Every structure is written in C-alpha cells, then in structure tokens.
Amino acid sequence: MGAGWAWAVVAAAMSATQEPQVLSPLVKVRPGESVKGRKDARLSLARGECEAVQVALPGRVERPGVEPLTLKGPGAALNASVWREAFIDVKTPSNGQGRTGPWPDALVPVDAPGHDPKLPTVFYVEVCAPEKQEPGTYRGQLHVKAGGARPVPVSFTAEVQPFALPATSSLPNSFGVSMYSIARGHGVDPESPEARKLLRDYGRALLEHRVSAHGMSMTPPPVRFEKGRAVVDWSAYDAELGPFLDGSLLPSGARFTSTDVRDSKQARTDAEKTAYYRAFAEHFRQKGWPVQLFFYAKDEPKPEDVPLVKAQSARVRAAGGIPVLVTSPLDDALNGSADILTPTLNCFYPRPGPQTCHTVMEPGALRKRLAGTTRVWWYQSCNSHGCNGGPPADKKVDAAYSGWASYMVDHPAPLNRAMGVLAFSASVDGELYFDTVFAYNTKKDPWKDVFEFGGNGDGTLFYPGTPNRVGPSGHQPVLTLRLKHIRDGLEDYEYLRLLSELGDAAFARTAARRLARTGWDITTDAGEWEAVREEVTARLRKRWAESEYAKGPGRLTPQSTP
C-alpha cells in the first residue's frame, strides 16, 4: 500500500531544490508539474511483499545513473531493484481525466539508450522482502548520479513487518498474454526458441506481480480419439505451463491462480469435445495442480451468440470439473450457462447520468439472482474510460466515464491501483483482463502509441524491450508503472483479507471504503492512501502479535484453493 508518509503537490517547482526528491509511487511525475517529496526514503513492507518509491533528480540531467542499493539489518541484506522511468507521448487523452503530452509509464534499465534530458529524470526503486525475511529495520543509501557529477546519497529505511503475505495471490485473476503478439513486438519468429523464451519471461514477469495468465502460446496439446476417449500428448503443454502451475518457477513458490482450457480443432464432434475437456480436467487432477482451470466461452456474447454459448456450456459441463466463464452482465437469455459470471466493473456500481452497462446492480443483489455455486468475477473494459477517446463534448457523458478504476497511462496512479481494494469491498471472486500485449500486434511501434479502444494502454501493460530500446541486455519484457500499481493493489487486497482473517473485518471494510467508496468514487490523494496504509499496518501488527500465527511458521495461506 505504499511508503509510510503523506505527499503533496505544491506550488514550488521540484527544480527549485538541487537535492533528489523521494516521492510516493502514487504520484506520476510529468514535465512542468510541481511536486515535493522528502530527502530520504522510508518503506514499510510485509514479508513476501515488494514496495517502492520514486527518486526524482532536479533540473536537466545528462547520463543519469545509480550505484547498487543494499539495505542491512537484523536478517539477510535486502537488495533493491532500480529502473528509470521512460515517457510515452499521449496524443489523444483517454477521456476528460487524461491529458496530452508525456506520461511516465515504461520502466527501463537505468542505462538504457534514449534518455531525454528535457524530461524529468525519475528512478523507480523497489525493495522486496522474502517470506522468511527476519522482521526489523534495514538501512542503506542509494547513490544517484547525473553525468560526471559526484554521486549523491539518498538514505533508505525499510521496516520489514512481522506478518507475511502468501506468495500466490489470494484473489484469483487471469490476464491475457500471447506468444504471437510478443514475437511480433520483438520482431522474432513466433515459432522460434527465442519466442518461447520471451513468453516464459513475460509469464514470469506477470507472476512476479501476482498476476496469472491465460492464452500464453495458445497451442492446444495434440489429441487423438480412441473408442470415445481422448488420448492427449501433454509433453509440450506441461513444459510450457507446468512451472507456472506447480510453483517451481519462482523461489517464492508462487503459482498461477487460474488458466484456461485450450480448445482443439482436432476435436470435431460434441462427443469428442467433451472427451477432450474431460481429459483436460483429469490431467490437472493427476498433476495435483491447485489452480482454477476454466473454459472461456464466447467473449462478450451478443444476442445472436446465445445458442453458441449454451452449446459450449453443455459440452464442457458434460465433461465435469471445469467451470464455464462468460463475460456478460446478468442476462436471462444466458441464464444458467455461466459457472463464473464476469460482468464489467461498471455493471456493479450505479451512478447518476448515462449508464455504461445495461444491467447495473450492487454485488450483493447480483449474487441473490445467481445459483449458489456461481462465482462472480469482473473485468475492466473501455466502459471505464470511454470507448472513443478524448473528452466527450457532453459533460454528462464525460462524467459517466470519469473516476472509474482504470489501467490507462494518462490516469492518476490511485485509479490504476484501486481494483484490489474494490475487490475486497465487493467480495468478488476474481478478476479477468483481456490482454497485456495487445498493442504489440496492432501498432507499428508500441513505444510511440498504445492507444486502443479509446484509452492509452487498454490491453497493453508491457513494452517490447528490444536491444535498441534497452541496450546490450537484449530482448526482455519492459515493465510499466501500471503493472506495479496492479501488483500493489493485489497486495492491498492481501492486507485487508489478512486483517479480516485475524478478526478485524469491520476495520478492514472501513479502511477500504476510505480509499474507494464505489468503482467510480476513488480518492486520488496519495497522502490518504499512505495514511490508510499506516493504520492498517499498525492494526495488523497488533492482531498478528495476538494470533497463533505469530507462534507458528510465520505466514497465512490463502483462504482457500481457487
């Protein structure tokens, strides 16, 4: 939930001081905007959590650099990761809340080519504490450099809390990623070993940020049919996905919370399709993979798609053990077809003015209309910012598309982060997002343009890290501030969930409502987010000390296996 102090946007320009400024990650530093931070960095993080600050250098900076940061304390030293923020030129605002011009988004290596000294120089500095880290205070200094000047030290203090977050997200989620889009963005052969390595790198980056993926290579396992039974060759599938599903990919043991069934054209009849799905479910049971396997039905079905969705649902349910996910608001025509009903965020929160969902109801009311076993996920769409881009001429329309939780580049950072808090308040069962590399496949150069569906960054949470962009380190996924905010939001969810499990649910609900009253009424005050974080942390420390967990192995597991 952030570092432990309040921030303010003030009248004095940052360049008025010659010292580096330490800023909250919830402030997007743009050219010409006045911000003020601190001289030193103070972080608070749970075991199993990552937290960050921004360090901004004043004035025009040639050849910015940093020396490695190590923080020492009662346990093993903590090493920080440091990136330089790169700017994306927004030509069309996502809506009335957006603005044209440069926005910080991509996190590139500090020494990556292409630094523009006319733009702000900001480092994103992140500290992660392993789950078994010894609690206590850790200290160190980050030395920042500008050109040939002598390095300037910035003091860092990190307080590692006694409580721990689970490595795997307690909130199931599934964000799309495609090896073929990745290959196109990096200019490599989609069938090459290089493309498969990149796919694993992108999947790993998502998992490191508590995000699970669907799609991936999208290649279904080969199958043949013998006497009504599907005989499947799982070797390539298991090599690709196994490390993400069994917890062996990362030292933390984190794993995907969910993954999708890959439909196969080799299964032609209804009976063959059902046999194939049955083999999928059985394979997951035999592997013991504790993830939610789901079948992604026709996306956002139109009235003419209803027969298809019902047929898909019947085939999958005949196999047993695989829930059917349908991206739709409550719809009588699809009644009973979904095991995971997934409306857009806008369908949960009525608001004055034009509605962006034709069936809007509070989460509690929606659940009462569904069968008891039906789960409720949600997802962002262009209804959260407007599907056409730019400020609508009609002020009522602009108001209807403003304020929503949003993953857009040109929206305030708290809106990028708010989904975790909202998920806790609404008690939804999971989150879906359609893509993370969409612009790789649609734009000539995503570094110059990620405008899709009326929003800057809709469906794109990475940039292709090609050698000409990142330097000699070679092809790699370039992370974004927005992906960091999404991760922080999922950690917010863990804090609130953990506090509830320790017997303080009422306090957790009140804290969540201070940050996000509804999906469109979210505070953008970084100081308020930090204040709530401090209060929740203090409450958690107290509850943890009183709990049996403080005497045990030092962690809470997720409430249940997704």
pLDDT tens digits, one per residue of 89-144: 999 999 999 999 999 999 999 999 999 999 999 999 999 999 999 999 999 999 99
Instruction: Look up residue 501 and give its two tokens.
Output: 């499990």
Euclidean distance between CA atoms 512 and 496, whole angstroms: 8
Instruction: Look up residue 340 and give its two tokens.
Output: 């995971």
Instruction: Look up residue 167 and give its two tokens.
Output: 């490595």
Least confident range from 112-116, 252-256, 471-475: namely 471-475
Pairing of β 340-341 and β 375-379:
parallel
In degrees, rounded to 5, the angle at the alpha carbon of residue 490 between the alpha carbons of residues 350 and 176 is 85
Euclidean distance between CA atoms 456 and 410, whole angstroms: 7
Residue 330 near residue 341 (C-beta atoms within 8 A)? yes
How many Cβ atoms are within 10 Å of 64's Cβ, its own excluded? 18
* 340-366 pLDDT tens trace: 999 999 999 988 877 778 889 887 888
Q: Give just the sign of the alpha carbon dihedral 91, 96, 102, 104.
A: negative
Helix (H) or strand (E) holding 213: strand 213-216
pLDDT for res 495 = 98
Residue 450 near residue 62 (C-beta atoms within 8 A)? no
Euclidean distance between CA atoms 49 and 208, whole angstroms: 10
pLDDT for res 550 = 63
Residue 274 near residue 231 (C-beta atoms within 8 A)? no
Mean pLDDT of 238-259: 98
pLDDT for res 552 = 56
* 207-243 pLDDT tens trace: 999 999 999 999 999 999 999 999 999 999 999 999 9
Instruction: Look up residue 281 and give its two tokens.
Output: 């479910």
Mean pLDDT of 516-535: 97
- Cβ neighbors of 6 (< 8 A, separation 6 or more) are 526, 527, 530, 531
Does the structure show a pLDDT above 80 at 9?
Answer: no
Name residue 461's amino acid: L
Position 8 confidence tier, pLDDT thresholds 50, 70, 90: very low
Residue 14 near residue 545 (C-beta atoms within 8 A)? no
How many Cβ atoms are within 10 Å of 296's Cβ, its own excluded? 21
Euclidean distance between CA atoms 27 and 17, whole angstroms: 18
Q: Any alpha helices (H) in 444-515, and if so which ranges?
A: 467-470, 481-501, 505-515
Could you identify the residue written with the tokens 């962002």? 380
Could you identify the residue written with the tokens 């090609």? 466
Find the length of the chain. Answer: 562
Could you identify the residue written with the tokens 């303010």? 8
Q: Tell me the backbone φ, ψ of residue 185, rounded to 5 degrees.
A: -65, -30
In degrees, rounded to 5, the angle at the alpha carbon of residue 55 between the alpha carbons of residues 530 and 468 is 125
Residue 63 near residue 117 (C-beta atoms within 8 A)? no
pLDDT for res 145 = 92
Across the chain, what does the average pLDDT equal? 92
Could you identify the residue written with the tokens 């008891």? 372
Euclidean distance between CA atoms 133 and 77, whole angstroms: 9
Position 7 confidence tier, pLDDT thresholds 50, 70, 90: very low
Beta strands in 27-116 (DSSP E): 41-47, 49-57, 64-66, 70-71, 78-90, 101-108
pLDDT for res 135 = 97
Instruction: Look up residue 552 and give its two tokens.
Output: 């045990």
How many Cβ atoms are within 10 Å of 13's Cβ, its own excluded? 14
Q: Which of 51, 48, 45 is nearest to 26 (CA)?
A: 51
* 375-397 pLDDT tens trace: 999 999 998 999 988 888 788 88
How many Cβ atoms are within 10 Å of 309's Cβ, its own excluded? 20
Residue 50 near residue 128 (C-beta atoms within 8 A)? yes
Provide the β-strand partners of residue 176: 214
Pairing of β 136-146 and β 21-23:
unpaired
Least confident range from 12-21, 102-111, 308-317, 430-439: namely 12-21
Q: Give just the sign of the alpha carbon dihedral 470, 473, 477, 479.
A: negative
DSSP 8-state symbol, 170: S
In the three-class reduction of DSSP (H, G, I as helix; E, B as strand; rest coil), residue 60 is classed as coil
Q: Any alpha helices (H) in 46-111, and if so which ranges?
A: none
Mean pLDDT of 252-256: 98
pLDDT for res 2 = 44
